[in-house]
Chains A and B, each alone.
Chain A
Amino acid sequence: MKTVRDDFTILNRQVNGHPLTYLDGAATSQKPDQVLDQIRAYYDQKNANVHRGVYTLSQEATTSYEGARAKVAAMIGAAAAKNIVFTRSTTESLNWLAQGYGPNHLEAGDEILLTQLEHHSNIVPWQVLGKATGARLRYVSLTDKGEIDLADFKNKLSQKTKIVSFAHVSNVLGSLAPVKEMTTLAHEVGATVIVDGAQGVGHFPIDVLDLNVDFYAFSGHKMLGPTGIGVLYGKTDFLEAMTPVQYGGEMIERVTLEEATFQELPWRFEAGTPNIAGAIGLGAAVDYLNEVGLETIADKEEELMAAALSALAEIPDLTVYGPKDAKNHHGVLSFNLAGVHPHDVATVLDMAGVEVRAGHHCAQPLMDYLGIQSAVRATFAFYNNQEDLDRFVSALRQAREYFV
């Protein structure tokens, strides 16, 4: 019987003499043939610059590029394709907000509210902006379960809060933020809501209009697409209130020696030749995700997570961080084996073909909060299976025997 695994050529390879067990989808997902084929087809059949030529190839390339934008918009429930700006990555989307939206909307004494579990890319751009504007950063604390403490969030929200930015799903704990509730509360004090959706999109259905967030950022490569393409979704008013961070070709309307006027949304933000193949690959990833079904993907990830949590509970001296409930892990599982450094665990697993992440996961403030320096992280994607889980658990037991 054909399974989704057959669509991922890389899953056939061996690593250190063992079948590849890829458990690092939170860092980057693997890519199905359908995505790779579309990238190849673009270069083979339609390669030309977009929005330029009047000739056929350019028109075909433009249609594919803009088609990808429409697919992305539809997948996250955006009002229109113009609400989707292509960027390089989640990191770039967040940096553009900090550089293009932040300075126009902050004064000294204002506050930017983040949470304790953010990825460095949702902390550092705001730190730099805070230093430049005199705005103050505040952080919402977490509950014992590793979830955002809503009471603390309410306490820290005030008329001074101008920007609230947080991860939809924690890249370490897998926990889900109560986006809708937080957004409503933030809007009550007039704050702009930004959500880092890097670990959300591609794992379950998302509707940005229902969530009512003002901006939503995510990466293509974590949702089966290629690297180098990301998305910044924004409500029309909010994108209109943002200044472009880059200037040049494609984004202008009319240029004289003295000045220039700019294109309408979303092209105003896409200076220079964009990542056309990347956008087309992302569009193919959206098609693929829709075909498999986001509900199906969420169920499969939860099923594997439930099995992983019970298997890990049997291993002595192993601490799992974050929620105890598989439903609130969204495929992401971080843990430590007492007395064994995460890098040593990861090397032993690698020798068994099991690829996991070890380190601080670009979330050092969260590591501080958890009282650890680093952790091992395994991600379970819908293209993983029970054999992957078995190989992972068996290698983990060997790591423990080897070092403890």
Chain B
Amino acid sequence: MNQADLGILYRQVILDHAKNPHHFRTLPASVGQQVEKFNPSCGDVLQVRMVVLRNQIQDMSFDGAGCAISMAAASMLTEQLIGQSLPAAREKLAAFSELLMADQVQGQNQDGLFTDESQSVEDKGWQDGDVDLGELSALAGVRQFPTRLKCATLASHAVTALIAKIEGE
């Protein structure tokens, strides 16, 4: 096994977040709104709670069980989103989604199959216009592990649904 290959997926910052996830706790049910998402392939459950005041994300928490990728993604996402306005949060979520999908599309050959040579751009970080994803850009390596995309996006799908729920009210 080549440890360097593994390092593409498991960047140190990801391992750190996975071991010591931020905002991994249970906020009381009376506070804010919650959404629960399942990863049907492994059975993991993720609950994300968000407190929004005047269109601004005041606090977030997440709870559940998951692999290193899904835990780190949830941890880094909460870091990035707390303090943001809802529109800014939606922009970050869109940029994150693009970060994970961009090379996938480029890496597809004409038959729509993934080629082996998806580019590795995780070191230059990710800038999409003015959107700065911070540590989340470390998850770019997941593009080379398509079977793990669901792990990386579980939290962001939950947050997207949560924001839609909050804005719908």
Contact = CB atoms under 8 A, between A and B. Distances in A.
Interface in B34-70: 41-45, 65-69
A359 B148 contact: no
Given A360-B42, A373-B44, A402-B10, A343 B148 contact: yes
A127 B9 CA distance: 40
Contact of A359 (B1, B5, B41): B41
Given A341-B68, A344-B69, A352-B1, A402 B6 contact: yes
B6 A341 contact: no
A316 interface: no
Contact of A347 (B3, B65, B145): B145
Given A347-B148, A351-B6, A402-B6, A373 B42 contact: yes
A403 B10 CA distance: 10
B4 to A, nearest CB: 10
A42 B102 CA distance: 43
Interface in B117-159: 145, 147-148, 151
Contacts of B42: 341-343, 358-360, 373-374
A286 interface: no
Contacts of A341: 42, 65-68
* Best-surrounded residue of B43, B69, B151 (most CB of chain A within 10 A): B43
Interface string A149-192: 00000000000000000000000000000000000000000000
A348 B15 CA distance: 14
B109 interface: no
A89 B135 CA distance: 45
Contacts of B1: 18, 348, 351-352, 395, 398
A263 interface: no
Contacts of A261: none
B2 interface: yes
A104 interface: no
Interface string A341-368: 1111001100110000011100010010
Residue among A344, A373, A374, A403 with the highest chain B CB neighbour number at 10 A: A344
A319 interface: no
A358 B43 CA distance: 10
Main secondary structure, interface of B, reads: mixed
Query: Which of B6, B69, B151 lies at the interface centre, i.e. has the most chain A CB atoms within 10 A of its CB?
Result: B6
Contacts of B10: 344, 402
A374 B69 contact: no
Contacts of B41: 359
Interface string A102-137: 000000000000000000000000000000000000
Interface in A14-48: 16-18
Nearest to B1: A352
B44 A344 contact: no
B68 A348 contact: no
Contacts of A343: 42, 67, 69, 148, 151
Interface string A378-396: 0000000000000000010
Contacts of A395: 1
A360 B43 contact: yes
Interface in B59-84: 65-69
A348 B147 CA distance: 13
Given A348-B1, A351-B6, A398-B1, A359 B43 contact: yes
Contacts of A18: 1
Contact of B9 (A342, A347, A352, A373): A347
Contacts of B15: 403
Contacts of B3: 402
B5 to A, nearest CB: 5
Contacts of B5: 16, 351
A373 B43 contact: yes
Nearest to A342: B42
B48 to A, nearest CB: 17
A373 B10 CA distance: 22
A344 B2 CA distance: 15
Given A348-B1, A351-B2, A395-B1, A373 B45 contact: yes
Nearest to B8: A351
Contacts of B65: 341, 373
B68 to A, nearest CB: 5
Given A341-B42, A373-B45, A403-B68, 11 more contacts: A341-B66, A343-B69, A348-B1, A351-B1, A359-B41, A359-B43, A373-B42, A374-B43, A374-B44, A402-B6, A403-B15
30 contacts: A16-B2, A16-B5, A17-B2, A18-B1, A341-B42, A341-B67, A341-B68, A343-B42, A343-B67, A343-B148, A344-B10, A344-B68, A344-B69, A347-B9, A348-B1, A351-B1, A351-B2, A351-B5, A351-B6, A358-B42, A359-B41, A360-B42, A367-B43, A373-B44, A374-B42, A374-B43, A374-B44, A402-B10, A403-B15, A403-B68
The 5 closest A-B pairs by CB, nearest first: A341-B67, A360-B43, A352-B1, A343-B67, A359-B42
